[in-house]
């Protein structure tokens, strides 16, 4: 919630719940040292922002399903998002534009989901190789994304979940 509010994500919070409305989002700062699994969705959020996002805690990413810092840098780079890794900081430079591209999950469920979320703003198709990595934590991810209105055309129905 803190990152969304810092990015000006267009949230209205009241007693009835949270309402999300379109808003021009800006880069934000976030310390993810104690929650390294948030890096992929934070990078997906940053991809839709304008400006520089700085996330602290990169050193915690090296020993996940992939070296997530490098993987995020390489795969989001294919979508036109520049990411610099500087000691324990990740800087994401974005202009709110995501390019269509062919990316690879590196067999990492969180990378597959982050790329799919970023793809929602892409100017063309985004193909995610090994997208079925999502089965590790969220087997219905692509089905649910489609239900929410995402243009999902992956052959996820044939995945052996």
Tokens representing 9 are 């994500």
The active-site residue out of 14, 31, 34, 37 is 37
Q: Which of 43, 64, 38, 62 is nearest to 54 (CA)?
A: 43
Q: Taking the CB of residue 41, how many other CB atoms lie within 10 A of it? A: 15
What is the rounded CA–CA span in Å between residue 22 and residue 119? 17
Burial of 160 per CB tally in 10 Å (0-12, 13-18, 19+): exposed
Q: Is 14 a catalytic residue?
A: no
Chain CA centroid to CA 84, Å: 16
Phi and psi, residue 8, nearest 5°: 65, 50
| Residues known to be catalytic | 37
């Amino acid at each position: 919630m803190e990152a969304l509010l810092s990015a000006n994500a267009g949230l209205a919070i009241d007693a009835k719940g949270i309402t999300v409305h379109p808003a021009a989002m800006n880069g934000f700062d976030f310390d993810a040292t104690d929650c390294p699994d948030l890096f992929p969705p934070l990078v997906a959020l940053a991809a839709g922002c304008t400006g520089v996002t700085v996330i602290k805690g990169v050193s915690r990413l090296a020993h996940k399903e992939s070296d997530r810092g490098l993987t995020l840098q390489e795969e989001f780079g294919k979508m036109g998002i520049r990411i610099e890794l500087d000691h324990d900081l990740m800087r994401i430079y974005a202009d709110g534009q995501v390019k269509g591209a062919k990316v690879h999950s590196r067999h990492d469920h969180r990378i597959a989901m982050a790329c799919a979320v970023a793809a929602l703003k892409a100017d063309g198709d985004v193909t995610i190789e090994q997208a079925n990595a999502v089965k590790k934590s969220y087997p219905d991810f692509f089905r649910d994304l489609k239900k929410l209105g995402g243009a999902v055309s992956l052959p996820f129905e044939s995945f052996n979940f």
